[in-house]
Chain A
Amino acid sequence: MATDAPPPSKEERPLPSAEEFSEVQQSAEFAELRRSFRSFAFPLTVAFVAWYLLYVLLSNYAGGFMGTELFGNINVAFVFGIAQFVTTFLIAWWYSRHAAAKLDPKAEAIKSRMEGGA
């Protein structure tokens, strides 16, 4: 079938059937992909939101601590703010590294098998 099918157009590639999707969704391979995505992205989301809320709450209710001057006019609040930038950059980098190493190969394998019509 793969050989005599017309070349798929860029936009309207026929989708695999509903049965194929359900089958893949139930497969161990897909469960593993789902697990490596969720077990990384979900806890990390909770963590950075909590870290950000900690900053918001400290700003609100720990003014004295946040106002402590560390060097010159640079205080704890300022350092905390810059730290939010740094952690954002680091998390973005960390997720992308995880995705490239752990998610992309698995996703690619499933995709090419499904689109290959196997």
Chain B
Amino acid sequence: MSPAQSVFAAELAANEASEHRPLIITLFAVFVAATLFITVWAGRQTKDAADFYAGGRQFSAFQNGLAVSGDYMSAASFLGIAGAIALFGYDGFLYSIGFLVAWLVALLLVAEPLRNSGRYTMGDVLAYRMRQRPVRTAAGTSTIVVSIFYLLAQMAGAGVLVSLLLGITSDAGKVLIVALVGVLMIVYVTIGGMKGTTWVQMVKAVLLIGGTILITFLVLLKFDFNVSDLLGKAAENSGAGSAFLEPGLQYGASGTTKLDFISLGIALVLGTAGLPHILIRFYTVPNAKAARKSVNWAIGIIGAFYLMTIALGFGAAALVGKDEIVASNPSGNTAAPLLALHVGGVDSAWGAILLATISAVAFATILAVVAGLTLASSSSFAHDIYANVIRRGQATEKEEMRAARWATVFIGIVSIALGALARDLNVAGLVALAFAVAASANLPTILYSLFWKRFTTQGALWSIYGGLIVAVGLVLFSPVVSGDPTAMFPDVDFAWFPLKNPGIISIPFGFLMGWLGTVLSKEEPDKAKYAELEVRSLTGTGAH
């Protein structure tokens, strides 16, 4: 297909979609109405702080596993990975693998101790045996920064969908939709709290898995369930030939890009266990055993989903073709919805219905993840910063919850504003930055806190702030922000750090700073507090 034809095809997809705009809007409205109903229902049952922050701790392991999956399979997984595979073949598959393997860190080292010793936030565990105010301030800061990076990616996904579905490419249209997403998430979180958000995640996870199974089935059907044929066709239509199925198409160009691949790989595998919005999910179940089981459910569900990204990504390369995908979105973010259109038939009603369904699922995905992220950051603001730092532990539950609700409104407004910044970057790449920041600032502190008895307040602060500043700083001076056609600010160039992902530098730096801060500290670690934390984290004694 020539570029002109493919631009035409992309426009056709948009027209096709806008012809069925009522259908898309109806499907989306049904989801919104259903989730708002759940939210109001959950809101009525949200009475105390444990309800608001932790959904009353009464969800079953399966329910929470589903909700964890819902929180984790973001626009990055659905739109971003499909796009990355569709454009770069095998190199895009690294995301699927890294995102999944990462769960073992959470399962083996973090989920159960965290559930046993914390109460509402990640900061509860980080500050457990440290001086409360400085460490909670640091934990709250890094929670909010990680969540904002993640939000940025979701908002980019929302903008992409709008331009595909409604044919709106104007900034005003995008801002309108981003604002709508922002307002809905404020409503979900302020009214429904963790209970409402958890149910929304479950509904969304079922929809996303259902939609993905459907498309995977239809793709495989076209190839008589012969994966080899699917891969062959993908390679043929990618224009890259068999190189499409081998590593190196995106990252093999030079020594620098290879380093970028390693950097991304490390960030993915170490990031998950430091993501605040995932960590607080473990507080929604009654005990550590249930937390373990919910991670197992999540690994099963997420693993199955990522296996299907093979069909989505390679299917899009085989059936939609690279030119049409690039014409629609340069980073491939629309590959999955376009694939839905093509498996159904470009000119048929069935194709349009599939496109509408998958797009509504993608919207639901974005909405739910955004709500989860907002809940994590507003919880951390209210519980770590407001209640324990500003009010020094003197705030009542009511005041704390009120602070959380106001923080939600504030973060909602910030993320709407940031939505305008996220343009043509691949959504998976953006989320990988959040993973890098989480792995640099949060994971070292979590692991040292739980397992290293000499760890001190100074070590915690150095590792959180050190990891955070280096990770964010390197991103700021990377090709993601400037000096690249797909950057946030493509017209200026102040990039001197060559890698798109900072993990390879910032993660070891975070660990190093935690160690250095500890060995150079003048204060002795609080032995009694460590005894308490260690016994509680391993046995569940006194767990909330």
A, B in one complex: yes
The residue among A33, A92, A95 with the most chain B CB atoms within 10 A of its own CB is: A92
* Residues A16 and B103 in contact, CB atoms below 8 Å apart: no
B-side interface mostly = helix
Q: Answer whether residue B532 sits at the interface, using C-beta atoms and an 8 A cutoff.
A: yes
Q: Answer whether residue B245 sits at the interface, using C-beta atoms and an 8 A cutoff.
A: yes
Specify which chain A residues have a CB less than 8 angstroms from the CB of B98 in the assembled complex: 52
How many A-B residue pairs have C-beta atoms within 8 angstroms? Tell me.
Answer: 169
Q: Answer whether residue B194 sits at the interface, using C-beta atoms and an 8 A cutoff.
A: no
* Residues B541 and A75 in contact, CB atoms below 8 Å apart: no
A-side interface mostly = helix
How many angstroms from the CA of A13 to the CA of B544 in the assembled complex? 8
Residue of A44, A57, A61, A71 touching B108 (CB-CB under 8 A): A44
How many angstroms from the CA of A55 to the CA of B540 in the assembled complex? 36
Specify which chain A residues have a CB less than 8 angstroms from the CB of B293 in the assembled complex: 96
* Residues B262 and A56 in contact, CB atoms below 8 Å apart: yes
Chain A interface residue bracket vs B: 35 or more
* Residues B104 and A48 in contact, CB atoms below 8 Å apart: yes
* Residues B228 and A45 in contact, CB atoms below 8 Å apart: no
Residue of B226, B246, B538, B544 touching A67 (CB-CB under 8 A): B246
Specify which chain A residues have a CB less than 8 angstroms from the CB of B332 in the assembled complex: none
* Residues A107 and B228 in contact, CB atoms below 8 Å apart: no
Q: Answer whether residue B242 sits at the interface, using C-beta atoms and an 8 A cutoff.
A: yes
* Residues A92 and B227 in contact, CB atoms below 8 Å apart: no
User: Which residues 54-100 of B have a CB within 8 angstroms of A?
Assistant: 90-91, 93-94, 96-98, 100
A-B CB contact pairs (8 Å), 5 listed: A60-B248, A72-B229, A81-B97, A84-B101, A92-B296
Chain A residues close to B by CB (< 8 Å):
11, 13, 15-16, 18, 21-22, 24-26, 30, 33-34, 37-38, 41, 44-45, 48-49, 52-53, 55-61, 63, 66-67, 69, 71-75, 77-78, 81-82, 84-85, 88-89, 91-93, 95-96, 99, 103-104, 107-108, 110-111, 114-115
Kindly list 15 other residue pairs between chains A and B, CB separation below 8 angstroms, not including A59-B247, A60-B251, A73-B229: A21-B532, A22-B527, A30-B538, A34-B538, A45-B105, A66-B247, A72-B232, A73-B231, A73-B232, A74-B227, A78-B231, A89-B303, A91-B108, A92-B104, A110-B535
